[in-house]
Amino acid sequence: MGKIKDNVIGWLYRHILKPVFFLMDPEKVHDLMIVAGRVLGSNSATRRLTGLTFGYQNPKLTQKITGLEFKNPIGLAAGFDKEAYLPGILPSVGFGFEEAGSITALPFDGNERPWMWRLPEQQALRINYGLKNSGAANIHNRLKGKKFSFILGISLAKTNSEKTSHVQSGIADYFESYKIFQDVGDYFTINISCPNTCEPSPIFAQAENLDLLLAKLFSIPKTKPVFVKLSPDLAEDQLDRILQVGNKYPLDGFICTNLTKINKFNHQGKGGFSGKAVEELSNQMLAKVYKFYGGKKIVIGCGGVFSAEDAYKKIRLGASLIQLITGMIFQGPQLIGEINRGLVKLLEKDGYRNISEAIGVDNKA
Ligand SMILES: Cc1cc2nc3c(=O)[nH]c(=O)nc-3n(C[C@H](O)[C@H](O)[C@H](O)COP(=O)(O)O)c2cc1C
């Protein structure tokens, strides 16, 4: 029954809504989705209705990771819900968690437009928002004291400004938003991999700078899990040094990966590529990170997940959790239920009782 429902919604999305959306400015469609999500998430009747339309649960998908109970492994990646407006509705859409942001200490109106291009043939997006958000204090004020029955990650990035382009000013900037968000959200992600800032390349992707940043963040008592989000474009030795730094701190894990700068399609414009343009690079990196730590740190796989098979591949390479955005934009919101339902089928086919048994099985010594 659930599968038929997903098929019908998927068909309606791909044949009616998507053709209309794809004629519209992608930024406008994104804004519209946020408004719709806020409205639907604002009262229990619309939340329940959305849950009946999209929801799917199965105990084979539940996991306790870093002390948090994940109902399923599929999360909304950072960048869709920049202002954290959607934790009310996303569980009803079927997500197991979300990462809001990236949020920066100071507000930023975004890079020069355009911010987003669709590349339908490549099943990718090109993104150039440059960490647009209304700033940590504003977003924190709106969220503080609210309780969500949903895992909310807070992605923190460095304010996109030349004033924070030095190591010490950059660390102070991250630390400010880190302190502000101590009492809101279930985990932190330290985004050191935004490809669209005023710097030629992210300065905290250099291991010695990351070392200083983590030393500062962990200089105050840790209140929740902390992840670092990596770029898929790191050179092998750069990644190695970052992973060694990771070993020095009580870091919980890594997100593999952010957008890639590699422009395989000679697309004119600015920004980083998502979706199928980054999938292979992300998978390679997640496999390396999982192998390096031998499962001692959590890896969250992100990049190009359009189906249950895509998600399962990342899990078998070592991902404990999955994040996505582009797949949902191309396939529709029923994709989340489809992936979760499909994952259960794949786990059953391989004889696993719980998703945790499949993590890293294709990537053991
Ligand atoms: C519209 C959009 C905005 C994004 N903004 C952010 C961001 O603010 N912070 C971040 O860490 N990643 C950001 N990303 C990257 C995604 O979180 C993700 O790493 C990337 O898109 C690969 O996943 P996907 O192929 O499922 O989209 C953004 C991606 C998109 C599509």
Question: Does 256 qualify as catalytic in the annotation?
Answer: no
Q: Give the position of tokens 């968690």.
A: 97
With 0.85 as the threshold, say if the pTM is over it. yes
Query: At CA 265, angle to CA 259 and CA 269, rounded to 5?
Result: 65
**What is the β-pairing status of strands 74-76 and 321-324?**
parallel
Tell me which of 16-25, 130-139, 241-250 is least confident: 16-25
Closest residue to atom 22 of ligand 1, CA basis = 303
Q: Is the CB of 314 under 6 A from ligand 1?
A: no
> Out of 194, 198, 256, 302, which one is annotated catalytic?
194
Q: What are the distances in angstroms from CA 169 to CA 34, 63, 209? A: 33, 38, 12
Closest residue to atom 7 of ligand 1, CA basis = 79
Give the pLDDT confidence of 61-105 residue by residue, as tens digits.
999 999 999 999 999 999 999 999 999 999 988 999 999 999 999
Residue 14 reports pLDDT greater than 80? no
Per-residue confidence (pLDDT) for residue 234, from 0 to 100: 96
- Stretch 137-162: mean pLDDT: 94
**What CATH class has 2-358?**
alpha beta
Closest residue to atom 19 of ligand 1, CA basis = 258
Per-residue confidence (pLDDT) for residue 1, from 0 to 100: 60
Q: Give the position of tokens 């390679």.
A: 284
Outline where the chain has alpha helix (H): 2-12, 18-21, 26-41, 44-54, 90-93, 136-143, 167-180, 207-217, 236-248, 276-293, 308-317, 326-331, 335-349
Centre of ligand 1 to C-alpha 77, Å, is 6
Instruction: Please state, rounded to an integer, the average pLDDT across all residues of the chain.
Output: 93
Q: Is the CB of 336 under 6 A from ligand 1?
A: no
Give the pLDDT confidence of 294-341 residue by residue, as tens digits.
999 999 999 999 999 999 999 999 999 999 999 999 988 889 999 999
Query: At CA 169, angle to CA 262 and CA 270, rounded to 5?
Result: 25
Centre of ligand 1 to C-alpha 303, Å, is 8
- Stretch 248-273: mean pLDDT: 94
Per-residue confidence (pLDDT) for residue 288, from 0 to 100: 97
Distance CA 125, CA 243 (A): 28
Tell me which of 30-39, 60-69, 245-254, 294-303 is least confident: 30-39
Confidence of residue 365 (pLDDT cuts 50, 70, 90): low
